Amino acid sequence: MLILLTNDDGIHSAGLQALAGQLQSFGRIVTVAPDRERSAIGHALTLHAPLRAEEITKDHWAVSGTPTDAVSLAIGGLLKEKPDLVISGINKGGNMGDDLTYSGTVAAAMEATLMGVPAIAVSLAGQSFKFDDFANAAKIAKQLAATVLEHGLPADTFLNINVPDRKPLGIRLTRQGKRIYEDVVVENRDPRGRSYYWLGTGNLDFQNLEGTDFHAVQHGYVSVTPLHLDLTNYAAMERLRQWQLEASPLDLDDAGSSS
C-alpha cells in the first residue's frame, strides 16, 4: 500500500505525527503537508506563485502552499505512482456543519477525490488536544481507512470523520449539520483610534439536530459523513422549473445605451 498523508495544521502537527505512527503497518506512508499552519483556507490553489517542496526526512515533505497544493503536488509530481488512499488530518478541532466550506483539511480530501484517489478527512473535535486524544483518533482513522481500502468508496465521494476528544462510544453515520452564527465579527480600536476587526471570535455553535455530525460528536460518538463533489441541489430543480427559465426569452437589449 501507498498512503499519502496531509493536513492544514502544518507538517509538524501532533495530529499528523500520531496518524503517521499508527499507519506504518499499511505499507509506505508518505507525508506531504504545508510547511506552516494553513487552517480555514478552504480549497485554495496557488496559481500565481511557484511552490517549494523540501524533503525534511525520507517521504516527509514540507510544501510552501495550501493543503490543496500539497495533495496536487504530491499526486501530480512528487510521487511516481498514484496512492491507494489519501488521509487528511488529524485536524486540531472539529470540521462539521457549514465549517466544511472553510476547512483546508476537508479541501485536501476533496482534491484527492477530484484526482481519482479515495480519501478521508479526520478531525479531533473539542477543546482538549492531549496526546491520548490524538492517539485514539489515529486508531479510529486506521480502522476506517482499512474499511475504505477493503470496500472502496462510491464515485466522487469521500468521508469526513470527526472524533470526540474523549473515549468514543461508537460510530455514527451522519449528515452535515448547520452552524449558528452570532457575533462573528468583533470590532475594536487600535491605539491610534482606527477600527480593526476579528472574524470568527464570537459565540459559534451548531443546531443540535439528531442525525448530524455535531449531534453525534456531542453525544460521544465518532461522526462519519459521506461528502460528494456534485454540489447540485437536486431537490430545488423542480421548484426552479416553475420559474420557466428555459422558456423565457433572453433580454439582451441595453436600455442604457446612448448609441
* Dist CA 137 CA 133 (whole Å): 6
> Within the chain, which residues score under 50 in pLDDT?
259
pLDDT for position 208:
83
In a 3-state reduction of DSSP, which class is residue 76? Answer: helix
Q: What is the pLDDT of residue 224?
A: 98
Instruction: Give ∠ CA 172-176-182 in degrees, rounded to 5.
Output: 125
Residue-level pLDDT at 1? 94
Domain map of the chain by residue range? Answer: 2-177+208-247
8-state DSSP, 212: B
All residues at 6 or more sequence positions from 166 whose CB lies less than 8 Å from its CB, including other chains: 126, 128, 133, 220
Task: Tell me, yes or no, if the pTM score tops 0.85.
Answer: yes
pLDDT recorded at residue 151 = 97
CA 92/CA 169 separation, integer angstroms = 20
Cis peptide bond upstream of 3, omega within 30: no
152 neighbors 175 (Cβ within 8 angstroms) = no
User: Distance from CA of residue 142 to its chain's centroid?
Assistant: 18
Give the whole-angstrom CA distance, residue 245 versus residue 251.
12
The answer to whether the beta carbons of residues 27 and 51 sit under 8 Å apart is no
Confidence (pLDDT) at 207 = 82
Q: For residue 127, what pLDDT is reported? A: 81
Q: Which CATH class is domain 2-177+208-247?
A: alpha beta
Q: Tell me the pLDDT tens digit for each residue of 94-137.
A: 999 988 999 999 999 999 999 999 999 999 998 878 888 999 99
